[in-house]
Structure 1
Amino acid sequence: MSNTHHRLMLSSTNELDELVLFDSPMPSDFPTFTINQTQLSYPDCLKIEYDSPFYVCSCDGILCFTMYSGPGVGPPVLWNPSIRTFKILPPLDNKPFSAYNFGYDHCSDKYKIVAVSLVEDREEVSVHTLGTDTWRRIPDFPYNGPFDRFGIFLSGTVNWMSFDNVSSSCVIVSLDLEKELYQTLSLPDFEKDRLIRTLWVLRDCLCIFVRNDMFLDVWVMKQYGNKKSWTRLYRVPHMDNRGLLCNYTRVLYISEDEILLMDFGKLECYQSKLVVYDSKDGTLEIPTIQNIGGWIHPEVYIESLISPCS
């Protein structure tokens, strides 16, 4: 019942190079362009045992962190910031370079963590079912492996971008969490000069961002698995901010009145910021974010009372 209560979390570092997390309700009135952030206190054991999270995904209000740990990454950590409850999952032995993806299998009523690990010249895939103590190997990732081992969860599947050598084209590889089998989804038909940016989820639809030097196009698959349902929702012009070329990374959230909250990178100074785009009048604004400055990693999640320990 709480899945409309969206929140915005920003990860950053302080002057001591320590991880800091800021959290706020998603603004109801984007034109005010002010986001009031409150610093979160995440579990002390994570501060002691690991360096910092470097990737966060979420499902049903539970955040899944991938943690730095020495030369590689540590085990995944599940954390519900709404109820301040966390769980450190069993490590994936002898696979220091793994990316973790988190989702829900509605058929078994179980949460699953999918690990994609680079092992020699292949991408091994392992699954951990929450409530058990082990990892299980499933068939390796097909094709040449994903562009990015961090996948996107939607409707009982985890999805990655990949390349099919046979057709010499990009494809979306989808893993069904119930059957633990792969299938291939087709991309939308967009202009040849467009470059693929990333997969995402918007309004409960699989989304892809493609761009050229002037625009970012936002496509959604309105009916999952149906290529004909791909629809271009928005074309966002790139922003020249004080002489610095800015490339958008993701659309994080779309309000009911068609205002987009996006993150973008300044290529010359390696910074990440937020930008608000009003699709009705085509205006772009950089919101004021209180209590935080410099580099940020934004993540939108929902409030819930679900415990990662269950």
Structure 2
Amino acid sequence: MTVSLLSSSSSAGFSLVETGFCYHSETNDYKIVKISYCNWSLNLGGTPLQAEIYSMNSGSWKRLHPHFTPDILLFNIHTDLFLIPFFSGALHWMVYVSKGKEEPARPFILTFDVNEEKFRMMETPFAVIRSYLCPLVFKGKLALTEKERDPLFLNVWVMKEYGVHQSWTKLFVVPSTEL
């Protein structure tokens, strides 16, 4: 398959842009989902989040309309060099949300269902940010790695039943001597 250069989209001026890549089997189409975030737009009364999807079949971008509450003040996407996991028909991003300066940010997993083209928020086993978290797929299950710095260790959590918050289970801990 040869892919031509992507047409431009409207993420200019955004402070953070993250992308996920997936295959939509029902339409035999490869897609790129792009989330752009601009924290200064809140001060101007704008929306801090913009989302778009690119279809390889059509060769064009389409604007998505995520329905997030307007009181979200913090929306940090932490993927760094990791691939965005595609699991159970959805892409999964790690996000941190705060609804006010007095409330600590809470970690969530932002999912994008490729069939429905809808975003959803999935709860993590954590009430507040404690560490660096990264979603992944582990042995056919949605999982999270939790990296603590002091002392340094890595926890691996697995969601035993997809979409059920109560099914998060800590599988194991890797101590700092092993990292």
TM-score by length of 1: 0.44
In structure 2, the partner of 1:138 is: 64
Identity of aligned residues (%): 24
1:125 aligned onto 2:51: yes
Distance 2:126 2:37 in 1: 31
SS where residue 228 of structure 1 aligns? Answer: helix
Question: What amino acid sits opposite 2:31 in the alignment?
Answer: K
1:235 aligned onto 2:177: no
> Cα distance 1:165–1:194, how it changes in 2: closer, same or farther (>3 A)?
closer
SS where residue 166 of structure 2 aligns? Answer: helix
TM-score by length of 2: 0.71
In structure 1, the gaps of 5 or more residues are 1-84, 240-283, 286-310
Alignment of 1:104-253 (within 5 A): 104-119=23-38, 121=41, 122-140=48-66, 142=68, 143=72, 144-148=74-78, 151-166=84-99, 168=104, 169-189=106-126, 194-212=130-148, 213-239=151-177
List 4+ stretches of structure 1 deviating above 6 A: none
- On the 8 A contact 2:53/2:62 being kept in 1, the answer is yes
Question: What amino acid sits opposite 2:11 in the alignment?
Answer: K
SS where residue 183 of structure 1 aligns? Answer: strand
Q: Pairwise CA RMSD of aligned residues?
A: 2.9
Distance 2:56 2:90 in 1: 16
Could you tell me how far 1:127 is from its partner in structure 2? 0.4
**Deviations 1:2-22, CA, capped at 9 Å, x for gaps:** xxxxxxxxxxxxxxxxxxxxx
> Cα distance 1:236–1:187, how it changes in 2: closer, same or farther (>3 A)?
same
Distance 2:98 2:37 in 1: 19
> Cα distance 1:147–1:100, how it changes in 2: closer, same or farther (>3 A)?
closer
Could you tell me how far 1:199 is from its partner in structure 2? 1.7
Distance 1:108 1:201 in 2: 24
- On the 8 A contact 2:136/2:143 being kept in 1, the answer is yes
Q: Between Structure 1 and Structure 2, how many residues are aligned?
A: 156
**Deviations 1:12-39, CA, capped at 9 Å, x for gaps:** xxxxxxxxxxxxxxxxxxxxxxxxxxxx
**Deviations 1:102-142, CA, capped at 9 Å, x for gaps:** 01223434321101224563231110122112100001484
Could you tell me how far 1:193 is from its partner in structure 2? 8.8
SS where residue 178 of structure 1 aligns? Answer: coil
SS where residue 111 of structure 2 aligns? Answer: strand
Could you tell me how far 1:152 is from its partner in structure 2? 2.6
In structure 1, the partner of 2:45 is: none
Distance 1:110 1:128 in 2: 10
Distance 2:154 2:23 in 1: 30
**Deviations 1:253-278, CA, capped at 9 Å, x for gaps:** xxxxxxxxxxxxxxxxxxxxxxxxxx
In structure 2, the gaps of 5 or more residues are 42-47
